[in-house]
Structure 1
Amino acid sequence: MHPIEVGSPSHREINFDEIANEEGLRTNMELIDEVWDQAVAKMERYKEKTGEHFSKKSRVKNFQVGDLVLRDTEASDPTNTGKLMPKWEGPYKVKEVLRPGTYKLLNMDGSEVPNTWHGSD
């Protein structure tokens, strides 16, 4: 025995209109560029909001000549890091501001630290 539903047509089969279906597909194809543009705009807004959220958490501090600063040990010697190692070393004195955020440093004995250093607060 077969259930009665097997032989009877479904609501979708009864109400199917091939011409209306073709017109609907053509309309969807015409609107695909608009839908795509909306999706791209939505992604851009999401990226902007995410960037704004994370930029709120970071603060930029500009150091002046003569300021005392600490240096991240991971930046100065990546091989000498670990769970129990100090995270900062110094203090160092800012010798020169090359551009905002980039500095030449001096040891406390007056000798220059090699390389330039990027600073954050």
Structure 2
Amino acid sequence: MGNYDMEITFLGVDDDGLAERQTGKSATISGNALEALEMFNIGLEFNKKRLRHSASYKTQILSTGDSDMISVPKITRIRFMIYGNTEEIVKDTIDKIYKTAQGAALITGCKVKKVTK
């Protein structure tokens, strides 16, 4: 049986967001790491039915980067504990999770980083 710890970090832009909102150009803001995390979670829900039968994972949101609710969140982090009957199943699950994270980063204009433990 295999198990694995992985942490995904979304890196956005360093922007307080106020100037864009005050000028009415907020639609051009990209690099919101909280939006990337939210998009990632939506993608994970759709991905669950594509996992192999013995694969499972648990998540823990470590940081939402939304301390003042005004700034555009620059960094968000989520941790995974991934389980499966074999190492191959675990590696396949990791690959699907990371590809989902890459898609969320692409959509939101963020960067994504994977750290394995």
Question: What TM-score results when the alignment is normalised by the length of structure 1?
Answer: 0.22
| Pair member with larger Rg | 1
Question: What TM-score results when the alignment is normalised by the length of structure 2?
Answer: 0.22
Which of 1 and 2 has higher RCO (CA within 8 Å, sep 6+)?
Answer: 2
Higher strand share: 2
